Amino acid sequence: MSAVQFLIADDHELFRRTARSFIESHPDWQVCGEAGDGIEAIEKAKRLRPQVILMDINMPRMDGLEATRRIRSIEAEFDSPRTPILALTANAFAEDRDACLAAGMDGFLVKPLDRERLAAALAGSGGAALAA
């Protein structure tokens, strides 16, 4: 089985580096790209076709909610498979979670990342094979 490819979209370089290190410490996970804002996330998602996108909610130029809505629109337009998109945020409020799910995200993770919560979110997003 080949490594699960992640795209990390977050405007904080330190978090992206930390997330990359965290993900790549798992033997079956790999980072295929990083994005610093929602516009870049959309472009890299189209070009790199990751198996999972970790999407920060609050980013400059375009936030993660709008980027997710646009990715879902592109997937629908081209009849592409749905890429699991997991929200990343420092906010653990129910209304934040609801907004993420309404935008088309498949799961909700509160920073900092934790391997067990990430695996559970992957399994809950229909990516059970990815969580192994």
| Residue 123 covered by a domain | no
Instruction: Print pLDDT tens along the chain (132 aa).
Output: 578 999 999 999 999 999 999 899 989 999 999 999 999 999 999 999 999 999 999 999 999 999 999 999 999 999 999 999 999 888 778 898 899 999 999 998 988 888 788 888 888 765 544 544
72 domain-assigned:
yes
Residue 61 belongs to some domain of the structure: yes
Give the structural domain span for 31: 4-117
Q: How many domains does the chain have?
A: 1
| CATH number of the domain where residue 51 is located | 3.40.50.2300
Q: What DSSP element (H or E) covers 55?
A: strand 52-56
- Does some domain include residue 24? yes
Task: Provide the β-strand partners of residue 88.
Answer: 56, 109
Instruction: Output DSSP code: residue 39.
Output: H
What pairs with residue 35 in β-bridges?
Answer: 9
Query: Is the pTM for the entire model greater than 0.85?
Result: yes
